[in-house]
Structure 1
């Protein structure tokens, strides 16, 4: 045990004496020793993620303090991270996240505080000043650790005095877009936690009496809204959008009244800065207003969320496509409000729609469903049509989200039943439409089904505007199913394009809930593939709206802090490439190069693996021969002369496909490395007969690439390969023992027997701590 940290008391009444299996407890000290040793290669982030998930499961079921009491090697591992040494960025990131998971319980937080461990890990004296801080993985782990830790009043006091909030402010401008986005999400969480009130009581509705953390965050937002730089304004607007999307208590009304004059000031600028983010904020405020109105009869004492934006009344916006006014229109007042009174945020959205956001944002029309609706209910894991959602971290069964009123209008089990009824209704509707009789010689829906569809779409519009994220998510999946089956039929296309459904779906790409954003990405990808995103444009604007969707999806892939939307974007892009989508076919090389560049830097291994799938599709299309369905099947050699083969490989070199694939070959996540191995084996089998290129083995370029790959394998992947010639690529391919690497990658059996003991054994066997017979391998 490290000096300064007392041994936890042995007697904790009422708690089981064991927090994990005895076999795992015996293996854990050896694993902690391996993690703490910078000389030991711990190269598989998948295992570290599983290990962290296991610790989360243990702490959710019992005491974190008891876990440390029975396994002091965990504290020794965390304390070892404080020593000046050449630490692995992956292990340091894991340790920061583990510390946050343990300190989420207040008694364990107090114990870790006694030895000054938390300030040394998360304060100014921690990794912030070290070389490890240059790694985005460490900065991301720092943020995620604080996100887990910030669950109780002691954590708030710690955050207010250790300088962490100022660091989070600076990380909003981080060079890694994922880190920057996660920093903004963390600010929202800290603000919501601060406003839960002392000892669970109601928070003060006087902004001057708010806790120190809350005042500091709000002050930073105000300063950013007054800034002249658009990125600072965008950061502040995004934080506010997420805040109003997640929290709907009276303090949000006070926050809006305080900040709305600054928001109104942005609308008066020419051009309007951060126009898209401004629209997203007003839509989020409008949804929040609808939820709050539903609880006013319960005796709420805060002013309604209608307040804040002032202006002179203007006519209601015309139909979609109406010409924008020649000058910025003043913000409209809420219906019935006197001149100079407070206005409805939804009316502000309508005003923006009337003005057309002439300085960069498309016209936007907020349907009634965005301005009203039932009170926000509890959050559920799941709620999707056709597939189950994994539960979010911290979601235990059915409960109210942090910051939402604990007095829902419906009991949780009743709301769950209604959600199930909605899902069943969607499924029954879909099956009924599938079974509707077809007119002979026509693939379109029959007249009765089309009449039903015209009545169904307005209902679907309301569901897409529901305050309940599970309803929005299930509605998007239902829309995707319908578009996939009937997107090519004239009747369906006419009815859908005459509705607001495509426009609402596009707006949900910026939903506060990551599951909804992912489903919106899938739905928009399907609609776009069939030309159903927007009403048909004139010849002079052909493809203009479609191109804007491609840009928006690339933005999500580059900036979204959650993995689900980014994975959905990669799946859509891969399908677009397979289907020769119009925007992809226009400049396929530029599209593939851009997507691979972003995907290669993603922190989510599933995004990187999907990037390899997209690369494989491009490789097949370029070389003109699809691979076998079996990933390990050997494709017969292709009889191709050297010249044409080298020419065929040029596009693969231009999009930097091999830089991505070779880097993925040594990826710290086993599934990514396996997929890269399959891709390179497929390419090598296709080019096996081109023996004339073997003469390039002695080239200096080949030696340089092989040396770079050796550095990558050792963990130093900072230097890219640069431009490669086909002859060099093929020579390097033949020098690699891809079969041996594939066999080594297949040796872990944790994916077969998913037990903690198997995981620990596999991690120890990887570095040779366990003998061959002790590892659960095959």
Structure 2
């Protein structure tokens, strides 16, 4: 430990032990613990205590009856556990009976402070740190800590209860990894006394009728088999698995969620999954749980790598069964192959769908969500029943909008239950969009298009449902088969698009801003993918969509204005934007889109539209947009002038991104040099650099970049530094001895930069010449600034000495000149 810290430590310990002193906040105490943890991990904890007896005095002092802060008491418990993690230090603290008094019944356990959750949490964390070596095991048993941990599993604080369960697992693992001598192998029945006590407690809890006690035991076992993979775990599972099996005999199965987690944890365990017992238990559990409870288990089983095929088939049937029942309820005669038909779980699933609206909706939402996840996994069942699932999902959506024709009593019940149900609509549309990643027969794809149009044009569709319908429509349009030798949309997709655009046109006029926003996002994606395709261009330009999109640049909602900016920018990149309509003044020349977006950048009161404009302008410059190509310098100058005055740091950062694109177009992109290359990096020709610098000075890029270098928002300063470093590297590689002899006087520029760095931003930089720019760049330590900016926001050194001084200064122990507050 640093000598100065040792000098300050007694005063700090005295402050912490004094109940009259204001206690340092939790943050300072956590930093103090972090410091002690660093010390104990780096060397001898015993030596630290011997050289700083004030720490032991503090631990003894907190045991005295006094009105001590719970935070200080919790801190002391954690500190004691941290030091006792080393065996020699544990013995040292044991000699004075300090540990039993801290963690036993004579300590905080019997005092009023125990009512504070922070004290109970500190007690658990202290024991967790302490229990690192075999000597800790008899101590835990003798001081009654294990019994206390059992009781804390049901603590009113969820954090304390969770930590207690994890501590039990840690103690059990420690005990079984260090069995008594003379035993041939670690078994759950021959471990140390505390291990046997924990196992007996788990057995009693698994037999308990009370659900909380049973759930606690199952959670502990889940963590045990998930994190402990020692040779003793099969023995523990063999001892407890019959009790777990008895739970499956009860009706209903108790604590089903915790039981599912346990069984999946056992199946994932590398030392247990090779046995047949866990697989048989999983199969039995699938058949015993209700359809709602079995869904998460079935999905978990299908994610397992080495799952037997029979169990995989059973799990697939559980997930598919609800949609099979829905399809049967709406289709007379045999359904499509691939879904369960008349399986044993059919009647149970039907009963769940019939039982109540909440049960019906919950089962269908879970089934759809699980199947959506499953389709994206490598373990997805093969063959995948794509056609049957498509028909089933379309049927679910038709039940929800009331257009399905029921073919049974269940169908009539589903019609009444699901009509207008937004939860099921959202889940079904999500799954339908995922199903677009696989092919389907054209008749079903046509049905998909029809039901999506119904939802997009339906007057009762909620904004969230419409958003998901747009997303699903985009997925199916993207998946449409391409004509050989042509990248255009196929005829069926073109027909879908023709029917879709009038609906989109209607939604862009919706009184609900979320709907207008979703429509614009959908339009942007379509233009991004098919803006250059003849069929899309023809259909889009024949509609009012481009005109309405441009009108939405004036929308009262800022999110919509931002989406309109992005959409018009994307349309304009493909020459698909509409000219502003002005029939009332045909002789007046209308503003160009570029001027309109510049107006948004300069005047919009919200940041979202202005950010969107900057992103569009950057894409336009990068892509060679026609309006930009006419006069790139004028365009860049106007944009940078507006961005430099913006109060939103993201706008300023995007302005630097645009400046970098302009710079790369003048000089070429920054080269990435291989460290093993023999040749030097290729430099820009001097003439090219001189011309580029002239252009950069004309657009006043350096005024913007140098100001941004001292921006109070770090991302802006970092981007500016990167840009100037790129330019400095180009200038350095092109320098000549003549230029170095004729270097201009840049003292006035450097003086202005120093004022900017000091926060005086009113001084202009003035007109710059290329030679002056190069000289300034060469004189600046941009590399050092880049390293400084790359450090975290708290990169200023905060030494332990500074921490101790600050904590003492807050209570007046130090003079104000001795503190180093931060």
Higher helix share: 2
Higher relative contact order structure (alpha carbons within 8 Å, sequence separation ≥ 6): 1
Structure showing greater radius of gyration is: 2
Q: Same fold (TM over 0.5)?
A: no
Length-normalised TM-score, structure 2: 0.39
